[in-house]
């Protein structure tokens, strides 16, 4: 019999492969003009990354018996927004990094202007994918999905969190201030992944939606606590991005505020509360529990 861990690995590997194919198909062809921009977009998205956001889309999709095709498009939109954020975050005007997913960053491999445009074009392509395919039953729900993605990506979500992050370098944030920044910068897109997956199938009732949203917020924050821990504990080769950057850049993190031990405890508490929020769903939430476990116990 297959162990639970192996089963999750098989499931997640299959989704990662499907996502690679779907993303390869929805991204513009490198054979078509402007070729260099298209190449940069494909370089940023394909052949790397854990695909955590699509895994959450698929796991939430299991709650609502969503079709694989719908989940692939929703997952692609999220992964394109995520890739755009990484391309821009790595640029000299922001985090100024040379390594991402074990490869030179986009502005190093191409050039700064191309990296800027590739990020811009990935962002708009994400909305094109979500608007241009049938990802749920009703048109009004599709509009709601577009709004969720826009809100999670913009000033009230990821971009806003990044602005607070840039403004807080060298400052002593309180824990609530740090949490607020991370809920926006990383948590918002993780939360959107769970919510979009749940829109792809049979609609949940209000109470169920509220419980799922609670799970999504908690696991989004847990993702960032673990990211802060890994930045201290893991090495560059394992992460595929430069380790130790938070301390080097004098950035406030869960580890700098709480220390490693308490940061680990915080991640465990968030995981427990997130799992608790899923109790109403029973066995249907098995994949969500597994992805939550992966997020909190990953090594990279
Ligand atoms: C530029 C608008 C704008 C936003 C950037 C998300 C973000 C905001 C910056 C990325 C920098 C960073 C390291 C954030 C911490 C959490 C995070 C998003 C890590 C990378 O995500 P993973 O671990 O990466 O899911 P992979 O490569 O596996 O997809």
**Residue 171 tokens, joined:** 């400052």
Ligand 1 atom with least separation from CA of 83: 29
The rounded distance, in Å, linking the Cα atoms of 62 and 200 is 10
Helix (H, G, I), strand (E, B) or coil at 103: strand
- Whether the CB of 133 sits within 6 Å of ligand 1: no
Nearest-CA residue for atom 4 of ligand 1: 85
- Whether the CB of 123 sits within 6 Å of ligand 1: no
- Whether the CB of 267 sits within 6 Å of ligand 1: no
The H or E element that residue 113 is part of is helix 112-132
pLDDT in tens, 226-235: 999 999 998 8
Residue with tokens 């991005």: 241
- Whether the CB of 158 sits within 6 Å of ligand 1: yes
Residue with tokens 């997020």: 295
Pocket test for ligand 1, best of 88, 106, 182, 185 (most atoms within 8 A of CB): 185
CB 185 within 8 A of CB 164: yes
- Rg value, the chain, Cα: 18
Report pLDDT for 125. Answer: 98
In this structure, the number of other CB atoms found within 10 A of the CB of residue 129 comes to 23
Distance, CA 33 to ligand 1 centroid (Å)? 29
> Phi then psi for 298, rounded to 5 degrees?
-65, 160
CATH of domain 8-297: 1.10.600.10
Q: Is the dihedral of CA 192, 193, 199, 204 positive or negative?
A: negative
Distance, CA 246 to ligand 1 centroid (Å)? 13
The ranges assigned to domains in the chain are: 8-297
The rounded distance, in Å, linking the Cα atoms of 241 and 68 is 31
- Whether the CB of 88 sits within 6 Å of ligand 1: yes
**Residue 27 tokens, joined:** 């991204």
Distance, CA 3 to ligand 1 centroid (Å)? 31
The model's pTM: 0.96
- Whether the CB of 50 sits within 6 Å of ligand 1: yes
Distance, CA 199 to ligand 1 centroid (Å)? 24
Each residue's pLDDT expressed in tens, for the chain with a length of 300 residues: 456 677 999 999 999 999 999 999 999 999 999 999 999 999 999 999 999 999 999 999 999 999 999 999 999 999 999 999 999 999 999 999 999 999 999 999 999 999 999 999 999 999 999 999 999 999 999 999 999 999 999 999 999 999 999 999 888 899 999 999 999 999 999 999 999 999 999 999 999 999 999 999 999 999 999 999 999 998 888 888 888 888 888 888 999 999 999 999 999 999 999 999 999 999 999 999 999 999 999 989
Distance, CA 98 to ligand 1 centroid (Å)? 14
Nearest-CA residue for atom 24 of ligand 1: 49
Nearest-CA residue for atom 29 of ligand 1: 49
- Whether the CB of 162 sits within 6 Å of ligand 1: yes
């Amino acid at each position: 019999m297959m162990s639970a861990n192996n089963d999750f690995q098989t499931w997640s590997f299959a989704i990662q492969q499907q996502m690679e194919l779907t993303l390869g198909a929805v991204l513009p062809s490198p054979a078509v003009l402007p070729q260099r921009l298209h190449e940069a977009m494909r370089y940023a998205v394909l052949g790397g990354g854990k695909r955590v956001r699509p895994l959450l889309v698929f796991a939430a999709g299991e709650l609502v018996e969503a079709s694989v095709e719908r989940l692939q498009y929703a997952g692609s939109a999220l992964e394109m927004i995520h890739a755009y954020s990484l391309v821009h975050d790595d640029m000299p005007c922001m985090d100024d990094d040379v390594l991402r997913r074990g490869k030179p960053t986009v502005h190093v491999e191409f050039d700064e202007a191309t990296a800027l445009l590739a990020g811009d074009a990935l962002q708009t392509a994400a909305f094109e994918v979500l608007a241009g395919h049938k990802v749920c039953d009703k048109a009004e729900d599709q509009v709601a999905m577009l709004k969720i993605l826009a809100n999670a990506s913009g000033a009230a979500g990821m971009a806003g969190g990044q602005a607070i992050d840039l403004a807080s370098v060298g400052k002593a944030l309180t824990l609530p201030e740090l949490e607020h920044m991370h809920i926006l910068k990383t948590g918002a897109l993780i939360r959107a992944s769970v919510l979009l997956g749940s829109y792809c199938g049979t609609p949940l009732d209000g109470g169920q939606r509220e419980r799922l949203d609670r799970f999504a917020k908690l696991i989004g924050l847990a993702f960032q606590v673990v990211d802060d821990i890994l930045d201290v504990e893991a090495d560059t080769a394992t992460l595929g991005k430069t380790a130790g950057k938070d301390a080097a850049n004098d950035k406030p993190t869960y580890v700098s505020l709480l220390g490693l031990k308490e940061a680990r405890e915080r991640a465990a508490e968030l995981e427990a509360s997130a799992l608790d929020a899923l109790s109403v769903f029973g066995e249907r939430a098995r994949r969500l529990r597994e992805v939550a476990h992966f997020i909190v116990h990953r090594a990279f």
